[in-house]
Amino acid sequence: MATSTKSHKLITLNELTEKILSYAPDADIALLRKAYYFSHEAHCSQKRKEGTPYIGHPLSVASMLADMHLDVMTIIAGLLHDTVEDTETKLQDIKEIFGDEVAFLVGSLTKLSKIQFQTREDAQAENFRRMFLAMAEDIRVILIKFADRLHNIKTLQHLPPSRQRRIAQETLDIYAPLANRLGIGWMRIEFEDTSFKYLMPAVYRDLLKKVAKRREAQEGYINEVARQIKEKLASYDIPAEVSGRVKHLYGIYRKMQIQQIPFEQLYDVLGLRIITDTQNHCYEILGIIHSLWTPIPGRFKDYIALPKSNMYQSLHTSVIGPKGERVEFQVRTREMHRIAEEGIAAHWMYKEEGRVLQKDAKYIKWLRELIQSQKDLHDAKEFLDVVKGEVVPEVVYVFTPGGEIKELPSGSTPVDFAYGIHTEVGHKCVGAKVNGRIVPLRYQLQSGDTVEIITSPSHGPSRDWLKFVVTQRAKSRIKQWIKAEERKQSLELGHKILETAFRKRGLSPSIIKSPEMDEVAAAFSMRSREDLIVSIGYGKVSAQQVANRFQPEKKEEAAAEEVLLKKPLKKTKDIGGITIKGVDNILYHTAHCCYPVPGDRLVGFVTRGKGVTIHRHDCPNLERLAVDDTRLVKVDWTPTGDRTSITKLNVETMDRPGMLAKLSALFSSMNVNITHLEATSTQDGRARFTFFIQAKDKAQLLKLTQKIASTEGVFRVRR
Our CB check for Mn ion shows the closer of 82 and 138 to be 82
Least distance from C-beta 57 to Mn ion, angstroms?
6
* 499 included as an active-site residue: no
Our CB check for Mn ion shows the closer of 76 and 386 to be 76
| Cβ-defined contacts of 150-154 (< 8 Å, 24+) | 150/8, 150/64, 150/187, 150/190, 150/191, 151/8, 151/57, 151/60, 151/61, 151/64, 152/57, 153/191, 153/194, 153/195, 153/198, 154/8, 154/190, 154/194
Measure the CA–CA gap between 567 and 580, rounded to whole angstroms: 28
Our CB check for Mn ion shows the closer of 64 and 591 to be 64
Angle between helices 139-154 and 161-170 (to 10 degrees): 150
Q: What is the DSSP string of 15-63?
A: HHHHHHHHH-TT--HHHHHHHHHHHHHHTTT-B-TTSSBTTHHHHHHHH
3-state secondary structure 363-389: HHHHHHHHHHHCCCCCCHHHHHHHHHH
Least distance from C-beta 109 to Mn ion, angstroms?
8
Our CB check for Mn ion shows the closer of 79 and 470 to be 79
Contact in structure between 274 and 329 (CB atoms under 8 Å): yes
Least distance from C-beta 320 to Mn ion, angstroms?
49
Closest CA to 58 of 19, 88, 85, 21: 85
Least distance from C-beta 58 to Mn ion, angstroms?
7
Least distance from C-beta 24 to Mn ion, angstroms?
23
The helix (run of H) or strand (run of E) holding residue 352 is none
Least distance from C-beta 153 to Mn ion, angstroms?
12
Q: Rounded to whole angstroms, what are the CA distances from 136 to 173, 374, 428?
A: 20, 14, 32
Catalytic option among 86, 335, 485, 553: 86
User: What's the chain's length in residues?
Assistant: 719
Neighbours of 26 (CB within 10 A): 9
Our CB check for Mn ion shows the closer of 127 and 590 to be 127
Catalytic option among 15, 85, 335, 553: 85
Least distance from C-beta 59 to Mn ion, angstroms?
11
Q: What is the DSSP string of 5-17?
A: --------HHHHH
Closest CA to 541 of 482, 588, 501, 494: 494
Q: Rounded to whole angstroms, what are the CA distances from 126 to 114, 134, 191?
A: 11, 12, 20
Our CB check for Mn ion shows the closer of 148 and 486 to be 148
Query: Residue numbers of the site for Mn ion (CB under 5 A)?
Result: 82, 148
Neighbours of 213 (CB within 10 A): 11
Least distance from C-beta 68 to Mn ion, angstroms?
17
Closest CA to 246 of 56, 37, 3: 3
Residue nearest Mn ion, Cβ-based: 148
Q: Is the dihedral of CA 225, 226, 230, 233 positive or negative?
A: positive
Measure the CA–CA gap between 690 and 706, rounded to whole angstroms: 16
Our CB check for Mn ion shows the closer of 46 and 673 to be 46
Residue 444 three-state SS: coil
Our CB check for Mn ion shows the closer of 73 and 346 to be 73
* 86 included as an active-site residue: yes
- For residue 195, the number of C-alpha atoms closer than 13 Å in the C-beta half-sphere is 23
Our CB check for Mn ion shows the closer of 13 and 150 to be 150
Least distance from C-beta 154 to Mn ion, angstroms?
12
Catalytic positions, written as ranges? 85-86
